[in-house]
Amino acid sequence: MEAEHAYRKLIRKIINNEITDPKSLAAEKKKIAKICGLNKIPSNADILTFCNDYERAAALSMLQKKPVRTISGVAVIATMTSPAPCPHGKCIPCPGGPDTPFKSAQSYMGSEPASLRAVEHNYHPYKQVAARVRQLQIIGHPVNKAELIIMGGTFTARDPSYQQWFIKECFAALNDYGKPENNSSDRSLLELQRENETALVRNVGMTIETRPDYSKEKHIDEILKLGATKVELGVQTTDNKILENINRGHTVEDTIQANTLLRDSCFKVGFHIMPGLPGTTIESDLNVFKKLFENPDFMPDYLKIYPTLVTEGTELEKLWRAGDYTPLENEAAVELIAQVKSILPMYVRLQRVQRDIPVQQILAGVTKSHIRQLAAKRLADMGKSCQCIRCREVGHQQLKGRSPGEVIQQIHTYRACGSIEHFISYEDITQKIVIGFVRLRFPYHTHQNELENAALIRELHVYGKLVPVGTKDKEAWQHQGYGEKLLHTAEETAQDAGYKKIAIISGVGVREYYRKLGYGQEGCYMINRL
């Protein structure tokens, strides 16, 4: 009873604007805990559990933990597959796998946050997803738009029955939000997908992590049925000699083929790149990144930079201890990443820099977990700025106290994988803030019948804090009509180029949105005649 009384007092003070910032909140927590004789300081999550719907809405801006979690307009739900070896063997820097003391998913050490959550739930997808959704909701985040990230190695190399079961359980967990947990569902994948179209927690996107040589037509067709919308490829480098040296098991030509097939199947494509591999230099690594955005065979939509790390039990550790390998260290990595950020085009999003591996497990290499921030500061000291989407998106800018002024539409056209891409966006070009964008492709060659003679919308995204489906927030950027305007411009652009229909790769939970705009489902796509 004392606890409830304390929480109610705190809620009233927040709503009455007697508490206006984190500092005054912390002080009031301590004061009320002492007055009410509590044995612990109330947490923000505890306070939120005592809020009714009105109070929660009014107090959320003060009590929400880690606002960055949903500041890009979606709630990211990462889930990890069970440990399994890579089909080609093992790369020399690879730290994990089922045959190591870590007993982890391939390329993970078992101590990363996502790995720990997976182990806690015995790698069961339903339990992982349900727990993560619940955790985000407890700390004050809306979870109605969920983006699934499927981690844990080469997903498309797993047995097809495992792939289908894994994704089926993910959908079941989303659909069962707010209901008693099933943990195992007798519903089919198709039934669960249809249910998710109108569920409380809708899947707005699904990312699959895999290898270029496991992104052939048959793999693409399978993950389309699962509901995937984006593929992240373990590219690592654009140098065949380096790939051979590290026993990567695929070639640059595999990457080019995968990139083309995925784009022409309407997927968004991300690359993982590893600077500092054996045989590379700072100069050669910088040239790899330049090549990514100068050679139309590449041009990724998303990018993750994972500096090579020396970890226990790897072949790379043996080379390092023998003096045959010198890793990329902190200072050199800061300089390299700053240089990379200075050349990134406006259509790419630099998602991540550095692995989640705890510093005590890194024997040599980059040990600074905030290497991205250090590189951004170095870039600013050079009088330059990064033009990538993440550095310009409105939600991240508002967290820094910057809001857009005049917002106008921009169209940037470039060549990629044998054809034309249009990056259509709404931006404040003076302040360099992006509100939202659409990726429109005129395909080189499609192998899906549904896409014959169709222009492709590979992505539509409006940024800013997540606004739940069916609601509006006058202070937010979602649900203000930008998505519909972007879609209309993409349709006009396709029509002007002679296309008679347009296809969208849609997250299962976004299909209803497109139906309201005149689209109908054909196979795995939402299609409209122009």
Which residues contribute to the annotated binding site for [4Fe-4S] cluster?
86, 91, 94
Residue 105 token pair: 């998913």
Region of 479 (left: φ > 0; alpha: ψ -120 to 50; beta: rest) is left
DSSP letter string over 309-371? -EETTSHHHHHHHTT------HHHHHHHHHHHHHH--TT-EEEEES----GGGEEES---TTH
> What CA dihedral angle connects 279, 283, 284 and 287, to 10 degrees?
170
User: Does residue 474 sit in helix, strand or coil?
Assistant: coil
SS3 state at 529: strand
- Enumerate residues 6+ apart whose C-beta is below 8 A from 69: 75, 76, 136, 139, 141
Q: What angle do CA 434, 351, 399 make, to 5 degrees?
A: 50
- Known binding residues: 86, 91, 94
Here the tokens at position 262 are 């995925």
> What Cα–Cα distance (Å) separates residue 170 from each residue in 70, 80, 153, 163, 449?
19, 11, 17, 11, 28
Q: Label residue 475 left, alpha or beta by phi (over 0 means left) and psi (-120 to 50 means alpha).
A: alpha
CB 109 within 8 A of CB 165: no
CA atoms of 55 and 169, how far apart (whole Å): 34
| Integer-rounded Cα radius of gyration of the chain | 24
Q: Which of 315, 379, 329, 330 is nearest to 350 (CA)?
A: 379
Q: Rounded to whole angstroms, how far apart are CA atoms 468 and 378?
A: 37
Tokens found for residue 224: 């389309």
72 and 397 Cβ atoms separated by less than 8 Å: no
Give the integer Cα–Cα distance in Å for 416 and 411: 16
- DSSP bridge partners of 375: none
Strand partners, 89: 86
Nearest to 395 by CA among 75, 104, 105, 31: 75
3-state secondary structure of 34: helix
Query: Of the candidates 522, 517, 514, which has an alpha carbon nearest to the alpha carbon of residue 451?
Result: 522
3-state SS class at 420: strand
